[in-house]
């Protein structure tokens, strides 16, 4: 969600600035087809919608970071010690016995 939010904020703010100096992103040239006021409203809506998505994305990350682990540390399985594989018995020759 955050990446879409950043994209909307970037495109909205960039379109806002570029329009002031007489340019426009090719992707957003359709914005002014409904008039100048509608174009400014769409740019503003893009910035606001992107900000909301950023806020929700950051809120979700905070909730994930503070969530407790699924299994407490005291109940987790211990790390296995390095041992020989089960069922392995070294062969002893009959001469050595």
Residues 38-91 have pLDDT tens digits of 999 999 999 999 999 999 988 877 776 676 656 555 666 666 676 666 666 667
4-36 pLDDT, tens digit each: 999 999 999 999 999 999 999 988 888 889 899
Neighbour count for residue 40 (Cβ, 10 Å): 15
DSSP state of 42: H
Output 13 or 2, whichever has higher pLDDT.
13
SS3 of 13, please? helix
Predicted confidence at residue 59, as pLDDT, reads 83
Predicted confidence at residue 71, as pLDDT, reads 58
Is the predicted pLDDT of residue 94 greater than 80, yes or no?
A: no
Please state, in angstroms and rounded to a whole number, the distance separating the CA atoms of residues 97 and 87: 21
Please state, in angstroms and rounded to a whole number, the distance separating the CA atoms of residues 65 and 26: 39
| Residue 42: exposure state from Cβ atoms within 10 A (0-12, 13-18, ≥19) | middle
| Residue 85: exposure state from Cβ atoms within 10 A (0-12, 13-18, ≥19) | exposed
Predicted confidence at residue 89, as pLDDT, reads 67
Please state, in angstroms and rounded to a whole number, the distance separating the CA atoms of residues 92 and 69: 49
Predicted confidence at residue 80, as pLDDT, reads 67
């Amino acid at each position: 969600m955050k990446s879409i939010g950043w994209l909307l904020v970037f495109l909205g703010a960039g379109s806002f600035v570029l329009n002031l100096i007489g340019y426009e992103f090719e992707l957003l040239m359709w914005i002014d087809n409904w008039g100048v006021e509608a174009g400014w409203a769409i740019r503003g809506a893009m910035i606001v919608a992107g900000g909301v998505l950023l806020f929700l994305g950051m809120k979700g990350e905070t909730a994930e970071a503070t969530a407790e682990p699924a299994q407490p540390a005291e109940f987790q399985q211990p790390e296995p010690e390095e041992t020989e594989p089960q069922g392995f018995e070294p062969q002893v020759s009959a001469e050595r016995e």
